[in-house]
Chains A and B, each alone.
Chain A
Amino acid sequence: AQSVTQLDSHVSVSEGTPVLLRCNYSSSYSPSLFWYVQHPNKGLQLLLKYTSAATLVKGINGFEAEFKKSETSFHLTKPSAHMSDAAEYFCVVTGPLYNFNKFYFGSGTKLNVKP
């Protein structure tokens, strides 16, 4: 069985300060992990993915995430927040990408960026 827990439903940061969005996962086998962003009234956009290669994954718009198997975590970070980063972020877990697997989304974290 697989599941995702996003530890914060809302995060608020000031522009120019670091961002940390936390995600813990549960998986019975080697997971593939993703972060997606959803801006209001827009579709979901892929930020980055982990598929058992490098544990530190770099994505678009300066975001990165580190896969920590011992902690079953895949936290999303960005060194300096921009106003345009305000959106909802979803962590996703699935199985190895060579199988047909179900994709499990977390409940989301809404990021607010203050000027």
Chain B
Amino acid sequence: DAGVTQSPTHLIKTRGQQVTLRCSPKSGHDTVSWYQQALGQGPQFIFQYYEEEERQRGNFPDRFSGHQFPNYSSELNVNALLLGDSALYLCASSLVTYEQYFGPGTRLTVT
């Protein structure tokens, strides 16, 4: 049983660019949540998707947007990248809102 997968593993972008990160949930899971983990900090909740709708959102600007597809996979989009967006982006999947299973993350570096 494949767990949560994320792509790409690493990404380098320039300030002002846009980026799309992808997540495939664990088999049988229908809810996807995204987190930003800056270096030396705990993950910060960005948003959560269920039935292709954003159900909850953390304290992140509108530059951060997402999408969930009918197969439950999800994308995180970040526009107008800032240096401060450099972080590990984690995707977690769950069955509705039960315990979350995390992917290995995408390391985004903004230069």
- A: residues with CB less than 8 A from B are 34, 36, 42-46, 49, 90, 94, 97-108
Contacts and interface: CB of A to CB of B under 8 A. Distances in A.
B97 A100 contact: yes
Given A43-B90, A43-B103, A98 B43 contact: no
Nearest first, the 3 A-B pairs at minimum CB distance are: A105-B42, A44-B102, A100-B55
Interface of B: 4, 33, 35, 41-45, 48, 50, 55-56, 58, 90, 92, 96-105
Contacts, number: 53
B93 to A, nearest CB: 12
A106 B56 CA distance: 19
Chain A interface mostly helix, strand, loop or mixed? loop
B97 A98 contact: yes
Nearest to B55: A100
Given A100-B55, A102-B56, A103-B33, A44 B97 contact: no
Contacts of A49: 99
Contact of B42 (A42, A99, A106): A106
A42 B103 CA distance: 9
